[in-house]
């Protein structure tokens, strides 16, 4: 898998994530002879090859720059082309923790979509694990299939991901190569309660199997919870991840005296401007009158504008100069604020557990 191996330098054919600006990332395939264009100018791929990952790359016109980052599932979530609403990293982290997804876990994912979750699952379960992903939408399936092939994720090319085109709500999860047991199940479907009855064939008979339903509406959660109860799942709980990112910085402490000095400086600057304008108007009037009378003013008759009063370098320069954050010449305080522009889709997460003892009871009742 492309996202599970790391290296130091960019090579021809690499998939990279181009950092263009804050909250603006773009996937980029490096191909010698190609050129990437954006608002900062042209970025020839030939100049990217051989550069270290994370290094700043300037445009040909030297009018801007980008950074080339090595792709990870977390970066891919922020840079991928959206085909559907996606699962973001804050939700992914709690899902992995509650489903106990680790190296070697076998996972069913229903609803491939934009494959944000798929990349995170594939990286986490590793070569000894297996991801069985299902997508019912034909065009999204074809796009995801090509994407998985490009990222070396498919099991047919020594990856760990098996992608199937199927409506699991109607046809279930039966597919060639799918073992009887899996350890975790993730359902990102419009109607997960229709797929829940099909899961009983694939739960782990020697241990616990955990499921998560990812739904944006409370009505979906209620129907899914009822279906889980009917199918014998226990420990049903719902979570909602409220994610906030705090940005820490230094804020300059402004004293009352500083504010007074600032107001005085503004008033002085305004008064000086008014006086200079009056002086200029007076000179223009004198020249106009002399021109009408056909007179020429000698140097002694021409009055020069008065020199502006001297200003205190300490007060004016401090007010007008650009101050770098943390400048020791000034007093600072540490502050923090919430980033209001976050990519985070709030949905409800419904979790449940199926125990092996429940399978024995169900098999006895059927006999």
Q: For 321-346, what is each residue's pLDDT tens digit?
A: 677 777 877 888 898 888 766 666 57
Strand partners, 184: 107, 210
Structure tokens at 50: 């051989």
**Is 175:162 a contact under the CB 8 Å cutoff?**
yes
**pLDDT value of residue 342:** 62
**pLDDT given at position 300:** 52
Unique residue bearing structure tokens 């223009």? 284
Q: Annotate 116-173 with DSSP letters as a single string.
A: HHHHHHHHHH-TTSEEEEEE--HHHHHHHHHHHHHTT-BGGGT-SEEEEE--HHHH-S
The pLDDT score that the predictor gives to residue 316 is 47
219-253 burial code (b ≥16 CB/10 A, e <16): ebbebbbebbeebebeebebeebeeeeeeeeeeee
How many Å separate Cα 361 from the centre of its chain? 46
Which pLDDT band holds residue 357 (cuts at 50, 70, 90)? low
What pairing do the DSSP bridges indicate for beta strands 209-215 and 332-338?
unpaired
d(C-alpha 117, C-alpha 95), whole Å = 10
CA nearest 171: which of 139, 196, 195? 195
Q: With beta carbons less than 8 A apart as the criterion, state whether 76 and 87 touch.
A: no
Which of 178, 177, 174, 197 is CA-nearest to residue 187?
197
Share of the chain above pLDDT 70, in %: 86
Looking at residue 275, its pLDDT comes to 87
Domains of the chain in sequence order: 2-71 (3.10.330.20), 76-244+345-366 (3.40.50.150)
Say whether 235 counts as a known binding-site residue.
Answer: no
Asked if 192 contacts 225 with a C-beta cutoff of 8 angstroms, the reply is no
Please give the Cα distance from 175 to 155 (Å, whole number): 14
- Asked if 136 and 165 count as a contact pair (C-beta separation under 8 A), the reply is yes
167 is in an annotated binding site: yes
Q: For residue 139, what are the CA distances in angstroms to 4, 5, 54? A: 27, 29, 34
Q: What is the pLDDT of residue 242?
A: 84
302 contacts 295 by C-beta, under 8 angstroms: no
Angle between helices 89-99 and 116-125 (to 10 degrees): 40
Calpha distance 168→259 (Å, rounded): 67
Q: What is the pLDDT of residue 143?
A: 96
Sequential DSSP letters for 205-271: SSS-EEEEEEESSHHHHHHHHHHHHHTT-EEEEEEE-----EEEEEEEPPPHHHHHHHHHHHHHHHH
DSSP code, position 202: G
Residue 306 class from Cβ within 10 Å (0-12 exposed, 13-18 middle, 19+ buried)?
A: exposed
* pLDDT score at 105: 96
Task: Work out the percent of the chain whose per-residue pLDDT is above 90.
Answer: 56
pTM, two decimal places: 0.74
pLDDT at 96 over 90: yes
The answer on pLDDT for 313 being more than 70 is no
């Amino acid at each position: 898998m492309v996202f599970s191996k790391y290296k130091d330098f960019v090579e021809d054919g690499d998939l990279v994530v181009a950092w263009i600006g804050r909250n603006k990332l773009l996937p980029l395939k490096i191909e010698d002879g190609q050129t990437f264009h954006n608002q900062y100018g042209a970025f020839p791929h030939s100049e990217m090859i051989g550069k270290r990952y994370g290094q700043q790359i300037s445009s040909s016109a030297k009018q801007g720059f980008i950074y080339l980052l090595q792709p990870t599932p977390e970066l891919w979530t922020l840079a991928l082309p959206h085909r559907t609403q996606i699962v973001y990293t804050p939700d992914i982290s709690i899902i992995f923790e509650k489903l106990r997804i680790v190296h070697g876990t076998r996972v069913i994912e229903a609803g491939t979509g934009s494959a944000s979750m798929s990349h995170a699952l594939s990286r986490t379960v590793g070569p000894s694990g297996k991801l069985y992903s299902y997508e019912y939408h034909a065009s999204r399936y074809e796009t995801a299939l090509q994407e998985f092939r490009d990222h070396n994720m498919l099991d047919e090319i020594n990856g760990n991901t098996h992608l199937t085109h199927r409506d699991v709500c109607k046809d279930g999860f039966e597919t060639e190569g799918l073992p009887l047991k899996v350890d975790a199940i993730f359902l990102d479907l419009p109607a997960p309660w229709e797929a829940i009855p099909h899961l009983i064939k694939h739960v782990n008979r020697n241990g616990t199997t955990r499921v998560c339903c990812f739904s944006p509406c409370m009505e979906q959660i209620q129907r899914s919870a009822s279906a889980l109860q009917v199918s014998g799942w226990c420990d049903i709980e719902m979570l909602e991840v409220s994610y906030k990112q705090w940005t820490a910085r230094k804020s300059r402490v402004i004293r009352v005296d500083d504010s007074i000095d600032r107001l005085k400086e503004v008033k002085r600057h305004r008064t000086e401007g008014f006086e200079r304008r009056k002086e200029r108007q007076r000179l223009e009037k004198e020249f106009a009158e002399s021109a009408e009378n056909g007179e020429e003013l000698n140097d002694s008759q021409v009055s020069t504008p008065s020199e502006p009063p001297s200003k205190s370098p300490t007060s004016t320069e401090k007010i007008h100069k650009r101050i770098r954050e943390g400048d020791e010449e000034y007093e600072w305080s540490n502050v923090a604020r919430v980033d209001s522009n976050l990519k985070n889709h709030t949905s409800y997460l419904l979790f449940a557990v199926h125990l092996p003892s429940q399978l024995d009871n169900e098999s006895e009742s059927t006999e």
